[in-house]
Amino acid sequence: MLRPDESAGQGVDRPADEAPVPAATAASWRAAEGQLFAAVLGAPEVYQRALVLVGTTASRLRLLGPSTQALLGAAAEIAALVREVAAAGGLAPDALDPDLVGRAALALRHREVVGEQAAARRLRVLRDAAARGAAWVVLEESGDWDGDPLAPYRRLEAHVASGRALLVTARPDEDLRGSRHAVEVVQVDLATARIEASPAATDAPVECLSAADREAYVTAYRAAVGRPGGPLAPTADMSDSKRQSADPPAETKGNLR
């Protein structure tokens, strides 16, 4: 399998403007979002006005691009930006707190920025892998590889030429004593590196009994994709989401030892 030290996705430096927003700051933005809409829930007209103001303010923030530092800079004057947006759109803030509206808009835009930055990192990794002639590359990886309920595992690895990708996970089971291992086929857009649903109707998530079974399935799938003229998955049966074991097909078992 692709281990961390073999993937182009590990150790890729983030540009300075992709540094994370401080956790406390991001939490305050999310809290403001919840507080704002909870306060106006019983007043439909005010609720609608709040939606428009938050959305329009977020649109202005989008003009700053996917920069964390620019977003933090805008936060310092966010109330003034909301007043400007309201005046330009003929929207009277009335009982709406411009600072609360602004921080709600920051929360919305921050979620978008995080996704845009992640896609940009995936795209850099994909391009680097293509330049090196790699067949597969790990785009993202976090958590405990073996499966730890307290450190859920997630890995996204992609076939560089096609963008067909495997989302490999180990999530806590219902009693939080073990992990549920699974592999899901998705598609990574080669132009944007955004993650999309698999175009194949048969690519349902596969549940596995262990990390070893999970990785056996991954290895078999990668071998099938790389085989000239071969199918995209080892066997149709292995795309059954109810399957509890990920034994690779007989033709690939010898390659997994």
For residue 191, give both structure tokens.
């132009």
The DSSP letter of residue 206 is E
Report if residue 215 sits inside a domain.
Answer: yes
- Please indicate, yes or no, whether residues 89 and 163 belong to a single structural domain of this protein: no
Q: How many domains does the chain have?
A: 2
Of 87, 116, 145, the one marking the end of a domain is 116
Instruction: Please state, as a whole number, how many other Cβ atoms lie within 10 Å of the Cβ of residue 8.
Output: 21
Whole-angstrom Cα distance, residue 137 to residue 163? Answer: 10
- Please indicate, yes or no, whether residues 245 and 173 belong to a single structural domain of this protein: yes
Answer whether 166's CB lies under 8 Å from 183's CB. yes
Report if residue 179 sits inside a domain.
Answer: yes
- Please indicate, yes or no, whether residues 161 and 96 belong to a single structural domain of this protein: no
- Please indicate, yes or no, whether residues 43 and 88 belong to a single structural domain of this protein: yes
3-state SS, one letter per residue, for 97-113? CHHHHHHHHHHHHHHHH
Report if residue 2 sits inside a domain.
Answer: no
> What is the rounded average pLDDT of the residues 47-71?
94
Angle at CA 18, nearest 5°, toward 107 and 170?
A: 75
Of 84, 116, 148, the one marking the end of a domain is 116
Amino acid, res. 87:
A
Whole-angstrom Cα distance, residue 52 to residue 131? Answer: 45
Whole-angstrom Cα distance, residue 4 to residue 247? Answer: 24
- Please indicate, yes or no, whether residues 69 and 108 belong to a single structural domain of this protein: yes
Report if residue 204 sits inside a domain.
Answer: yes
For the stretch 123-177, pLDDT in tens is: 999 999 999 999 999 999 999 999 899 999 999 999 999 999 999 999 999 888 8
- Please indicate, yes or no, whether residues 139 and 111 belong to a single structural domain of this protein: no
131, with CB counted inside 10 A (0-12, 13-18, 19+), is exposed
Report if residue 7 sits inside a domain.
Answer: no
Strands 153-159 and 195-197, bridge-based pairing: unpaired
Q: Where are the alpha helices (DSSP H) in 40-142?
A: 44-62, 68-75, 78-88, 98-132
- Please indicate, yes or no, whether residues 112 and 139 belong to a single structural domain of this protein: no
Q: Looking at the chain, how many residues does it have?
A: 257
- Please indicate, yes or no, whether residues 249 and 154 belong to a single structural domain of this protein: yes
CA 128 to chain centre: 20
- Please indicate, yes or no, whether residues 83 and 180 belong to a single structural domain of this protein: no
For the stretch 188-204, pLDDT in tens is: 999 999 999 887 766 78
For residue 10, give both structure tokens.
């590990």
Report if residue 6 sits inside a domain.
Answer: no
For residue 56, give both structure tokens.
């329009």
Report if residue 10 sits inside a domain.
Answer: no
- Please indicate, yes or no, whether residues 139 and 98 belong to a single structural domain of this protein: no
pLDDT value for 95: 76
- Please indicate, yes or no, whether residues 110 and 139 belong to a single structural domain of this protein: no
For the stretch 64-92, pLDDT in tens is: 999 999 999 999 999 999 999 999 988 77
- Please indicate, yes or no, whether residues 38 and 145 belong to a single structural domain of this protein: no
Predicted confidence band at 14 (pLDDT cuts at 50, 70, 90)? low
Q: Name the residue range of residue 59's domain.
A: 17-116
Report if residue 144 sits inside a domain.
Answer: yes
Whole-angstrom Cα distance, residue 113 to residue 41? Answer: 27
Of 63, 87, 116, the one marking the end of a domain is 116
Whole-angstrom Cα distance, residue 82 to residue 79? Answer: 5
